Amino acid sequence: MNARDSNNPATAPVVISSRADAVAPAAEVAEVRPATSVPPASPRAAGVSRFHESARAQVAGGATYIDDIPEVRGTLHAAPVCSNVPHGRLRGMDATAALAVHGVRGVFGASDIPGDPVLAAFAHDEPVFAGETVQFTGQVVAVVVADDVMTARRAARLVKLDIESLPAVLSVHEAHALESYVLPPVHVKRGDAAAALARAPRVLESTFEIGGQEHFYLEGQIAYVLPLEQNQWWVYSSTQHPGEVQHWVSHALGIDNHAVTVECRRMGGGFGGKETQAGHLAVWAAVASRKLQRPVKLRLDRDDDFMVTGKRHPFAYHYRVGFDETGLLCGLDLEMLVNCGFSADLSGPVADRAIFHADNAYFLEDVAISSYRCKTNTQSHTAFRGFGGPQGVIVIERILSDIARELGVDPLDVRLRNLYGIESRNVTHYQMKVEDNILEPLMTTLAGTSGYRQRREQITAWNAQSPVIKKGIALTPVKFGISFTATLFNQAGALVHVYTDGSVQVNHGGTEMGQGLNTKVAAIVADELGIPFERVLSTASDTSKVPNASATAASSGTDLNGRAAQFAARNVRDNLAAFVAGLDLCGAGAVKFEGGQVISPTATRTFEEVVHAAYANRIQLWSDGFYRTPKIHYDKTTLTGRPFYYFAYGAAVTEVAIDTLTGESRVLKVDILHDVGHSINPAIDIGQIEGGFVQGMGWLTTEQLVWNAKGYLATHAPSTYKIPATGDIPEHFKVDLWPEANREDNVHGSKAVGEPPFMLAISVFEALRDAVAQAGGRPQAMNAPGTAEEVLRATSSFAG
Amino acid sequence: MSTEISAQTLTFLRRGRPVTLDNVAPDRTLLEVLREDLHCTGTKEGCGEGDCGACTVVLGEAVDGRLEYRAINSCIRLAHSVEGLAVWTVEDLAGDDGELHPAQEAMVQCHGSQCGFCTPGFVMSLFGMYQNTKGGQGIDRPRAQADLSGNLCRCTGYRPILDAAQQMGDLPLPSGCGVNEAATVAALKALPNKKKEATTYLRPTALTELLQLRTAHPQAQVVAGCTDVGLWVTKMHKRFAQVLDVTAVRELRRVEAYPHHIAIGAAVTLTDAYAALVKERPQLKTFAQRFAGLPVRNSGTLGGNVANGSPIGDSMPLLIGLGASVVLMRWDAKRRAVAHRELLLEDLYTGYRTNVMHPDELLAWIKVPRPTAGEHFKAYKISKRFDDDISAVCLAIRTTVTNGVVLDVSVGAGGVAATPVRARQTEAALRGQSWTADTVMAAVAALRAEFQPISDMRASAAYRQTVLGNLLQRYWLESQGLQHINLDTLNAATLEALA
């Protein structure tokens, strides 16, 4: 890696760096400018660290979330009535006491659903409200509707459920033994793993378990449903997938999709937790709203949000891996038990992606993977940043570290030894050729800039004379496939409206959850029209503007919607170019749009002048745009094909310290080199990388979900469920961006960035295990998350 | 708001002007009033229990003619507790023409907001810091981390927010954004004193008055900073017809120093109480910072924490280890005088959240012995997360070793029984013994055997028992001069330097 931290954004190489510990912050990223300034003048809107389009509103309390929308007269508030047993037969419900409370307007359950009582989810296995059976503690049986929130919540506790308890399946092992699955098992094979293991010079066999993760979006789940005329509905939903909310609501109400409009201006965080889970709330509120013909808002209390909604899937693994004396993998037999909870939800594609990413960066020649989608009586686990990818990546990274320790060599060397090749050893176990492999140069560059090898030596020496505190270090890569594995979702639409004053609105099917999608899309549109960024306004996601949009998920928001918006803007530009070409008697291709001007070979006009004149000449000033990802195909029956358009790459070096008396740990230093292609907005991309890393760090350290023996989620609030706080951030936290453009034709040469950095945090877990090993403990016995208790268990003789 | 509970008027200062709300029930939260009654929706609810900081607002109080600023959690603060105070929300910082306050502008410039939902809370914590640091001067990274530990962000990974905290002091303060302190103090003074009208939310300002009200209204819910009682409202959905708030009582807001002890009034906030304890024993600085987050410490009181008596409350093991006692007071109607009694803190508790206090008694003072010559004192806290977490295990140990013999010892423990406890058997294993590794190992065994902790979501019983003993080992190692054996006191730089 060459020159970074340049102070001259105009001439600097495109490597952008963010150093948390740097005295002088990197240009463009963290530089403080006078209050009235805007980011550096650039002829283009993209490629520059523009501020988030809502930043100024957010810091002033002026950014509106669903609960902030002024309430329509007559608005009522709902609260859920939840099952208090994990599995049982629902014999009856007595709402007398609740209905007697002053201000309570009704209690609504399964019998109040005019349409299908089962949610319109893919597997069609999840009731809107629990009917004859309850399947987890926290399952919503009914909603109480009242004049105000607290009255509804108080009354909900007064509803008595008569439930006959049934045996509950609470562990994934129990479910597997009972063959209790939400979907059939999936087996992916290449070569002959059994034969390869039989002839492998060395074999390791192990088990491993990893916990789930609560999304902990700061804005809890919320929906606000308003009745319109003639059985039509307006739904405000904090959702990553307005189209699915629309579909689910219309399905439950038994009406056409066109009668339901869903709007979401922004979410207060999503992380996958508002992909399907938002739909439930909207349906519950809609059922109540229809019965009462009043607007109904349902905002979950944080504890209810924990109890009701799904989490990241916990996994359990059993594997046998063969390898030779050089650390080269030869044969892997991997079994994954996926805790899906009580229904399928998105568990199929999540479990599939875990299979797709069990290779991470490495060529698996003879491999057999079995994936069991276990049904348990817990919340229905759902999408969460990485979508099964992290659960695939972590197991192979664990395997390679353990092989290195077996052989007494640096884990980095074992990793490099097993990387995908360029000319050979370059086909994944699902038969996709890895064409854009930058793993080796990326990892060796990072090893160099971070001083990995010297530090490993220093750490060993340091540990030798430190009696209680031990340090560890790890470098782990990530290779993450970009595209929805369900090929049909890889499409997007957008609308670009140019108004007669030259201002522009862009609307697309994506949703803004903080990731800066609207900021990037506005920059793309501004560049396409050659106008300043400030002239383009992004508006709320709205199913009546762009229909049938896919979820904003799979990191694909900008790839899909950015391109669709680019195409929409290009259509308008083409109209304007043709118009100017007619005026100036030149070819349309000779008309350029830049710097707010429209330049033909013979004349230069402002964009506004051209727009005004074009309108007067009845030229269409708005357009749609549509994009579908090329090249991808995938056979669901054989799990082979090219599910991903390209891969995003990255690597991280993490250094930790553990306390061998208590098991407590600290992340001391983190160096990241990550591939976002040509960044559309470096500050936003670095924000995604840092934020993803810290969220992953939380998953693997302090975020522990604990269900008690009765299937009750005991960690159901931030008092007991601990996401990283300010004090957990490493003192040294440095992020560099890989300078190369996406080798595939993607919008502005960029790559997707939402999910891949999450998996960089696996370096934290591997560094913890390295420290445990250096303390003379048993790293192979350590499960995730690596809480203090887990680290102490692996480090000492304490059995727990 | 449907309610049978009668309500009284509430007045506070906002943007330099009094805001008066009629008919605010005594158990409504400040956040509800801001969002529902004043329609100021900039302040967010993230968790409703004071753990995420999205609802942070800043309170201003005139103290000795100056304004004191405190960032607090509005979600668990009862609305009436801000009677007579100045309140700033995120909507109150920008100038009339929309110029952003440096706390806001720095967040924009540093890309400190992504989804933006935690942002108003962070901005208000930054504003509180700004006002308490002469315009954001001298804020280093540890200070920023400590003061923002009560604000959670799920998007950014915090680095840009910490940058904003450190850089806001370099930004110009637009003319419309500054706080006119003198005018605010004057305006606070000019607010009407409505104490006499109070019926449902009683907030006396004198100790005698407080005790008399307690006798007269035994059914009233006693509150201090409400950082626990607030959750009874938001999470347990309790209702209070009448509230007796101790936080305005002048006498109880003082920390008084005596030759052999300091006395901390029951209405002293955790922030101020811990500052007093750290002043006496600087080694408690980290422990103090790890008690909840700053907004909770700014509202909650040490007296409330002690009276509440949660088995995992962190101040009690500390205070028991220090040999603290409590003073209980009541109004003796016959003698027409204040009666009081004093007992050791560990004797206050009788069981899980039960204590020896009579219905008319209030906890008034906490008396903490001052350091003695030869005293060695350490307090350890083990929790899943370093900051803003409740301990799985807490251990506080004080020894006085003379001529190699343990003359005096006190050990307080938390998270191991139904109440905070004194580890008497462990003390017995140490007292009078020579201070040697053998003695300590015997005491470690005694400590592990002394309690039968439970397994719960924070830790297993086995872990708690193991670590209790290990912490005593750490105390021994530290007493032998071993450095750098505690992550709490190490950072990357010192870890590096060791090598």
Annotate A619-669 with DSSP letters as a single string. ---EEEEEEE-SS-EEETTTTEEE--SEEEEEEEEEEEEEETTT--EEEEE
Residues of B in contact with A59 (CB under 8 A): 90, 100, 104-105, 107-108, 112-113, 119-120, 123
Question: Do B467 and A731 lie within an 8 Å CB cutoff?
Answer: no
Token look-up 């307690």 returns: B214
Give the domain ranges of chain B.
1-193, 203-371, 373-499
Smallest Cβ–Cβ distance between A726 and the set B93, B148, B484 belongs to B148
- CATH number for the domain spanning A417: value is 3.30.365.10
Question: What pLDDT is attached to residue B41?
Answer: 98
The C-alpha of A405 sits at a distance from chain B's nearest C-alpha, in angstroms, of 23
**Two structure tokens written together for A347:** 């568990």
Are both A620 and A642 inside the same structural domain?
A: no
> Min CA distance, B79 vs chain A (Å)?
16
Q: What is the pLDDT of residue A637?
A: 85
Q: Is the pLDDT of residue A22 over 60?
A: no
Confidence class of residue A7 from pLDDT cuts 50, 70 and 90?
Answer: very low
Partner residue facing A732 (CB), from B109, B490, B492: B492
Using an 8 Å Cβ cutoff, are A152 and A144 in contact?
A: yes
Q: Report pLDDT for B15.
A: 94
User: Does a structural domain hold residue A436?
Assistant: yes
> Do A266 and B484 make contact, defined as CB atoms within 8 angstroms?
no
Residue A340 CA: distances (Å) to CA of A120, A180, A347, A395 = 18, 11, 6, 18
Sheet containing A622-628: order of strands: A536-538, A504-508, A491-498, A622-628
Residue B88's H or E segment, with its range, is strand B86-88
Tens of pLDDT, residues A616-674: 999 999 999 999 999 999 998 888 999 999 999 999 999 999 999 999 999 999 999 99
**A172 occurs within a structural domain:** no
CA distance A731 to chain B (A): 7
Residue where one domain finishes, among candidates A562, A596, A628: A628
Q: Among candidates A75, A354, A14, which has minimal Cα distance to A234? A: A75
Say if residue A118 is in the same domain as residue A142: yes
Alpha carbons A570 and B211: distance in angstroms, whole number: 76
Residue owning tokens 């353990």: A402
CA of A155: which chain B residue's CA is closest? B237
Domain shared by A524 and A441, yes or no: no
Burial class (CB in 10 A: 0-12, 13-18, 19+), B137: exposed
Q: Are residues B319 and B349 in contact, defined by beta-carbon separation less than 8 angstroms? A: no
Minimal Cα–Cα distance from A10 to chain B, Å? 19
Percent of residues in chain B assigned helix, strand, coil, to nearest 5:
35, 25, 40
Confirm whether A609 is domain-assigned.
yes
Residues whose CB is less than 8 angstroms from the CB of residue A580 and which lie 6 or more positions away in sequence, other chains included = A586, A588, A591, A598, A600, A603, A605, A610
Measured between alpha carbons, how far is A517 from A557 in angstroms, rounded to an integer? Answer: 7
Q: List the end-to-end C-alpha distance of chain B, in Å, as a whole number.
A: 63
What is the DSSP-derived secondary structure letter of residue A158? T
Contact A666 B174 (CB under 8 A): no
Integer angstrom CA distances of residue B190 from B14, B21, B62, B66, B336: 13, 17, 12, 15, 34
Q: What is the domain extent for residue A378?
A: 315-485+636-795
Question: B490 to chain A: which residues are within 8 Å by CB?
Answer: 469, 657, 666
Whether residue A728 is found in the same domain as residue A774: yes
User: Residue A717 domain-assigned?
Assistant: yes
Architecture (CATH level 2) of domain B203-371: 2-Layer Sandwich (3.30)
d(CA B314, nearest CA chain A) in Å: 14
Q: Is residue A136 part of a domain?
A: yes
Q: Among residues A279, A264, A753, A255, which one has the least CA distance to residue A509?
A: A264
Complex-level ipTM = 0.96
Residue A163 resides in a domain: yes
Measured distance CA(A26)–CA(B110) in Å, rounded: 11
Q: Is the pLDDT of residue A599 over 80?
A: yes
3-state secondary structure B393-429: EEEEEEEEEECCEEEEEEEEEECCCCCCEECHHHHHH
CB atoms < 10 A from the CB of A692, how many? 29
Q: Which residues of A are catalytic?
A: 755
Select from B89, B90, B115 the Cβ nearest to the Cβ of A218. Answer: B115
Q: How far is the C-alpha of A216 from the C-alpha of A312, rounded, in Å?
A: 11
CATH of domain B373-499: 3.30.390.50
Tell me, what's the pLDDT at A372? 98
User: Maximum Cα–Cα distance for chain A, whole Å?
Assistant: 86
Please state whether A442 falls in left (phi above 0), alpha (psi between -120 and 50) or beta.
alpha
Contacts 24+ apart (CB under 8 A), B400-406: B400/B372, B400/B374, B400/B375, B400/B376, B401/B374, B401/B376, B401/B435, B401/B479, B402/B374, B404/B434, B404/B435, B404/B436, B405/B432, B405/B433, B405/B434, B405/B435, B406/B430, B406/B431, B406/B432, B406/B433, B406/B434, B406/B435, B406/B439
A571, A517: one domain: yes
Return the DSSP state at A312: B
Q: Which candidate, A53, A39, A46, A48, places its Cα nearest to that of A12?
A: A48
**CA distance linking residue A386 with residue A482, whole number of Å:** 11
Contact A694 B157 (CB under 8 A): yes
pLDDT of residue A566: 98
d(CA A660, CA B455): 21
Q: Torsion angle, CA of A82/A294/A119/A94, rounded to 10 degrees?
A: 30
The number of folded domains in chain A is 3
Residues of A in contact with B114 (CB under 8 A): 52, 514-516, 687, 691
Same domain, A445 and A363: yes
Going by their DSSP bridges, the two strands A329-339 and A315-323 should be labelled as: antiparallel
Burial state string for A637-650 with b = 16 or more CB within 10 A and e = fewer than 16: eebbbbbbbbbbbb
B88/B178 Cα distance (integer angstroms): 12
Residue contact B46–A722, C-beta within 8 A:
no
Q: Look at residues A628, A645, A673 and tell me which one is the last residue of a structural domain.
A: A628
Q: Which of A268, A690, A714 sits opposite B156 (nearest CB)?
A: A690
For helices A389-407 and A347-356, angle between their N-to-C axes, nearest 10 degrees: 30
> How far apart are the C-alpha atoms of A126 and B444, rounded to whole Å?
53
CB contact under 8 A, B49 and A102: no
Q: Is A549 contained in some domain?
A: yes
Please answer whether residues A185 and A343 qualify as being in contact, where contact means their C-beta atoms are separated by less than 8 angstroms: no
Nearest neighbour of B114 by CB, restricted to A157, A666, A691: A691
Contact B159 A733 (CB under 8 A): yes
Q: What is the pLDDT of residues A280-331, one digit of tens each?
A: 999 999 999 999 999 999 999 999 999 999 999 999 999 999 999 999 999 9
pLDDT digits (tens, 9 = 90+) for A745-798: 999 999 999 999 999 999 999 999 999 999 999 999 999 999 999 999 999 877
Name, in order, each residue with C-beta under 8 angstroms of A568's C-beta and a sequence gap of 6 or more.
Answer: A494, A495, A496, A506, A525, A623, A624, A625
Mutation target among B34, B110, B117, B480 for the A interface, most CBs of A within 10 A:
B117
Angle CA A336–A337–A342, to nearest 5: 145
Taking the mean position of all CA atoms in its chain, how far away is CA B256? 19
A644 and A726 housed in the same domain: yes
CATH no. for residue A285?
A: 3.90.1170.50
Distance, C-alpha B269 to centroid of its chain: 6
Which pLDDT score, from 0 to 100, does residue B32 have? 98
* pLDDT 10s digits, B388-427: 999 999 999 999 999 999 999 999 999 999 999 999 999 9
Residue of A nearest to B168 (CA): A32
Instruction: List CB contacts (< 8 A) between B89 and chain A.
Output: 61
Same domain, A350 and A419: yes
Contact assignment for A461 to B499 by CB distance below 8 Å: yes
Residue-wise pLDDT tens for chain B (499 aa)? Answer: 444 566 789 999 999 999 999 989 999 999 999 999 999 999 999 999 999 999 999 999 999 999 999 999 999 999 999 999 999 999 999 998 999 999 999 999 999 999 999 999 999 999 999 999 999 999 999 999 999 999 999 999 999 999 999 999 999 999 889 999 999 999 999 998 877 778 899 999 999 999 999 999 999 999 999 999 999 999 999 999 999 999 999 999 999 999 999 999 999 999 999 999 999 999 999 999 999 999 999 999 999 999 988 887 889 999 999 999 999 999 999 999 999 999 999 999 999 989 999 999 999 999 999 999 999 999 999 999 999 999 999 999 999 999 999 999 999 999 999 999 999 999 999 999 999 999 999 999 999 999 999 999 999 999 999 999 999 999 999 999 888 888 877 665 566 655 4
Q: What six digits make up the tokens of B102?
A: 């440096």
Least confident of A215-219, A314-318, A354-358, A635-639: A635-639
Among positive and negative, which fits the CA dihedral B113, B117, B123, B125?
negative
The SS3 assignment for A233 reads strand
Residue A613 and residue A690 share a domain: no
Domain co-membership, A502 together with A525: yes
CATH architecture of B1-193: Roll (3.10)
Does A226 share its domain with A355?
A: no
Angstroms from B86 CA to nearest CA on chain A: 19
Chains A and B: how many Cβ contacts under 8 Å? 330
Helix and strand totals (H; E) in chain B: 17, 19
Contact A56 B457 (CB under 8 A): no
- Residue A640, in any domain of the structure: yes
Q: Do A95 and A225 belong to one domain?
A: yes
Residue of B90, B148, B485 lying closest to A469 (CB–CB): B485
C-alpha distances (whole Å) from B82 to each of A61, B1, B13, B61, B247 are: 21, 20, 9, 9, 11
Contact (CB<8Å) A468/B118: no
Beta-carbon separation of A61 and B43 below 8 A: yes
Write out pLDDT tens, residues A501-538.
999 999 999 999 999 999 999 999 999 999 999 999 99
Q: Final residue of a domain: which of A239, A265, A299?
A: A299
Is there a contact between A396 and A358 (Cβ–Cβ < 8 Å)?
yes
